[in-house]
Structure formats: C-alpha cells, structure tokens
Amino acid sequence: MAWVIDLLSWVLLSVGGIFILIGGVGVVRLPEFYTRMHAASLTDSMGTILILIGIMLQAGASLATIKLIAILVFMLLTGPTATYALANAALMSGMKPNKLALAEDSASAGKED
C-alpha cells in the first residue's frame, strides 16, 4: 500500500514540476502582457497545488501536513488575488489587451523584459 502512495506522490510532484516548466516557457514565449500573466498564474496555481499535495502524501498524517494544508490554503487565496491585482493595475495604467499586440512577433515583445 505504501508504494501506491509513494508512486502517487511522485506522479503529483512530477506533474506539478511540468506545469511550472510549462508556465516558465509560457512567460518567455507568449507575445503580450496578459497572456504571459496567464502563463505565470499557471505555475502559481496548478504547479504549487500539485507539488504541495505530493509533499503531503510524503509527509503522511503529521504536523507537517497540517502546516502544508495551511500553506496550500494561503497560496490558493493569495495567488489568484495577486494575479487579479496585477492585471487590474495594468488595465488601470492604460495597457489594453489588443489583437495587434498578439499579432506582433514575439521577438519585439521579448524586448520588454
């Protein structure tokens, strides 16, 4: 039985890692601010959730798991809020999500870093 949990936790950890990798690639490759932020929020939500659950399975029923659950709850609360606040701030400062920017090649968008 133990190996099932172990396997499950490793699967979760790996998938989480892949999500973070994809998010990272997305931040670099996507053409414009809002789409990039979408990619970045992916690492925040999917990546961390899966990894935290994976670690929880490793830790078993202990104090560490309770702490991890607390971390997970706070991540779930703050991550989307931060993304929202960032998008909102961008919108307020006059940055419009437009198709023109999307059509531009990613090379010119890459300079904005």
- For residue 10, state whether it binds another protein (rule: CB under 8 A): no
CB of 81 to another protein, least distance (A): 5
Segments in the chain forming alpha helices (H): 2-29, 33-42, 48-59, 63-92, 99-103, 106-110
Which of 14, 78, 98, 108 is close enough to bind another protein by CB under 8 A?
78
- With the CA atoms of 42, 43, 46 and 47 taken in that order, what torsion angle do they form, in degrees rounded to the nearest 10? 160
Phi, psi of 31 (to 5 degrees): -80, -25
Report whether 31 contacts 102 (CB < 8 A).
Answer: yes
Question: With contacts defined by CB under 8 A, how many residues of the chain interact with another protein?
Answer: 7
Which of 7, 11, 62, 81 is close enough to bind another protein by CB under 8 A?
81
Give the tokens for residue 47: 């990546």
Which of 60, 69, 74, 110 is close enough to bind another protein by CB under 8 A?
74
Which of 7, 77, 106, 110 is close enough to bind another protein by CB under 8 A?
77
Q: From the CB of residue 73, how many other CB atoms can be counted at a distance below 10 Å?
A: 10
- For residue 85, state whether it binds another protein (rule: CB under 8 A): yes
Which spans of this chain sit near another protein (rule: CB under 8 A)? 74, 77-78, 81, 84-85, 88
